[in-house]
Amino acid sequence: MIKIQEKFKIVYNYSVYFIENLFDRGQNYFSYILDECGIQHNSKFLFFIDSNVAVLHPDLIKDIKFFFNSGNYKLADTPLIISGGEVVKNDFANVHSILEAIDKYGIDRHSYIVAIGGGAVLDAVGFAAAIGHRGIRHIRIPSTVLSQNDSGVGVKNGINYFGKKNFIGTFAPPFIVINDFNLLHTLSARDFRSGFAEAIKVGLIKDDSFFDFIEEHASELIDRDSEIIKQLIRRCAEIHLQHIAGGDPFEQGNSRPLDYGHWSAHKLEQLSNYRILHGEAVIMGMCLDAVYANLKGLLHEKEMMRLIHLSKKLEFKVYAPEMEVNNNKVKSGLLEGLQEFREHLGGQLTIMLLEKIGKGIEVHEMDEEFIMKAVSILKEND
């Protein structure tokens, strides 16, 4: 037997920018960012814009065209509109359409694909960019609180398949992430609030002082205080980047601390036919796991109630009928989430639970009886 072996590593420079009104015609923000990141003049760009963003920001396409007409870069064509929301991830035909555009406009591995939108659009476009020509550089411009503080600054892309969340996908870090706070002003109250869930999550798992900050400023967050919102998004993004750079960005191991509460959240979204938004499902999932941890003697009741009280103060529901596990039909649905979570990660089931706010502990099995009891307690506290 003969063996030849080499070891190599790839270094990523991961830049996240925070700005107000990226395409302001009186400023040169986008040009400055492209230059600072070493993007060559005459590079070609293809834009995809979330349909919801296009409606809420009717001048955006004109501003993008103005930038390219007066700058040193090439716009492949008028920015293309793509369906916003989870629907874009539920049909592979949408990815096929993105790939067709990549082919039609001659987008190659030295070109750039730019996605402006919520997390679902970023996921779908990022996935197409990752598989087109085996990888095209993509730039994310998240348009929601949730995507600016969580999915938009991650390294994952994916779509739903076989009725399972993110069954097809890639690990492909974006070339640049640009958080434009101006895009948040037109969000509905429900969509705006939904983004707080992922910030709460990183506080619970990574930083108790950040959880304290969210508790302290809950009223300002509901009132959409711009400075508090900016602080929340920046800190949340910072914690995500630190985690990505911390050792296992492509999830080769079993541990996924930033998926706290997600084993049930992903399933709740599906069971509700996506009536429940991702952030809303994450709140329910985290509360479910906090109550479960308390029942198992891992988490003090006071810590558990802090999460429930904060969730309600931020106007979240902590319970939905889809969480019920005493009906056989729905029981199989919610609890299937455990198996799907294990399959999605691979290997041993690993669930992050709380020992205290700011500190998690991994467990490798979940007791169905305690899950049922936890759901009942949440129903009483909703």
* pLDDT, tens digit (0-9, with 9 covering 90-100), for 123-140: 999 999 999 999 999 999
pTM reported for the whole predicted model: 0.89
Task: For 319-346, write each residue's pLDDT tens digit.
Answer: 999 998 765 555 567 888 888 887 766 6
Nearest to 376 by CA among 312, 310, 303, 318: 318
To the question of domain 15-184 being in CATH 3.40.50.1970, the answer is: yes
**Residue 137 to residues 107, 239, 250: CA-CA distances in angstroms?**
10, 24, 18
CB-CB contact of 308 with 379 (8 Å): no
Count of C-beta atoms within a 10 Å radius of residue 167: 14
Position 49 confidence tier, pLDDT thresholds 50, 70, 90: very high
What's the topology of domain 189-220+247-381?
Answer: Dehydroquinate synthase-like, alpha domain (1.20.1090)
Fold agreement between 15-184 and 189-220+247-381: no
Chain position carrying tokens 């359409």: 97
Asked if the model's pLDDT at residue 291 lies above 80, the reply is yes
Task: For 94-131, write each residue's pLDDT tens digit.
Answer: 999 999 999 999 999 999 999 999 999 999 999 999 99
Q: What is the mean pLDDT of the chain?
A: 91
Better-predicted residue by pLDDT, 252 or 365: 365
pLDDT reported for residue 332: 64
pLDDT reported for residue 142: 96
Task: For 225-249, write each residue's pLDDT tens digit.
Answer: 999 999 999 999 898 888 777 766 6
Using a CB cutoff of 8 Å and minimum separation of 24, what contacts does 74-77 make?
A: 74/42, 74/43, 74/44, 74/45, 75/44, 75/45, 75/47, 76/44, 76/45, 76/46, 76/105, 76/106, 76/107, 76/111, 77/46, 77/105
Tell me the average pLDDT across 359-377. Answer: 91
pLDDT reported for residue 177: 96
Tell me the average pLDDT across 255-276. Answer: 86
Identify any residues that bridge with 99 across adjacent strands, giving them in sequence order: none
Say what percent of the chain tops pLDDT 70. 94
Beta carbons within 8 Å of 144's beta carbon, 6+ residues apart: 118, 119, 183, 184, 187, 191, 192, 194, 195
Going from N- to C-terminal start, the domains of the chain cover 15-184, 189-220+247-381
Nearest to 263 by CA among 339, 185, 168: 339
Chain position carrying tokens 């996605």: 115
Better-predicted residue by pLDDT, 22 or 336: 22
Q: Is 225 exposed, middle or buried (0-12, 13-18, 19+ CB in 10 A)?
A: middle
Here the tokens at position 173 are 């870090």
